[in-house]
Amino acid sequence: MTRPPGLTKDAGFQIGVSRTLPLPSEAVWRFLTGPDGIALWLGRGAVLSRERGTAYRTDDGTNGEVRGFHEGTRIRLTHRPAGGGRETTIQVTMARAPSGTTIGFHQERMSGPAERERQRGHWRRVVADLENSMLPGPA
């Protein structure tokens, strides 16, 4: 029997979304880890410590714990939606690319295909919002 798309052997359902922005990695990282960037991808009010094991909480009650913070390249954290939904793991990655910086959002341990598709839409909107926030609009 074949596995449904996005179902892993050990981490439940997962989804990943990435985009390359024509910006230097330092600028992208600075925005992603600053208050405006964190508000876009994690939620307003969250403050992320660089210390593993540190808790965070957004204004809407979403919470979790920092599992890894590698300056300039990767953030890994747990994520429990407000209201006590299922805990998932989110990883944000950055890598230099010939045309700028590739940013990726990966979420795993989702409950099923419906949550996976919902989160695919969410991460696509996040990437579009980041791009719109960081790149100058038409003159």
Can you list the domains of the chain with their CATH numbers?
Answer: 13-134 (3.30.530.20)
Q: What tens digit of pLDDT does each residue of 19-71 get? A: 999 999 999 999 999 999 999 999 999 999 999 999 999 999 999 999 999 99
Q: Which amino acid is at 19?
A: R
pTM over 0.75: yes
Q: What tens digit of pLDDT does each residue of 59-107 get? A: 999 999 999 999 999 999 999 999 878 899 999 999 999 999 999 999 9
Closest of 138, 137, 139, 134 to residue 23, by C-alpha? 134
**Could you give the CA distance from residue 54 to residue 137 in angstroms, rounded to a whole number?**
36
**Could you give the CA distance from residue 12 to residue 6 in angstroms, rounded to a whole number?**
8
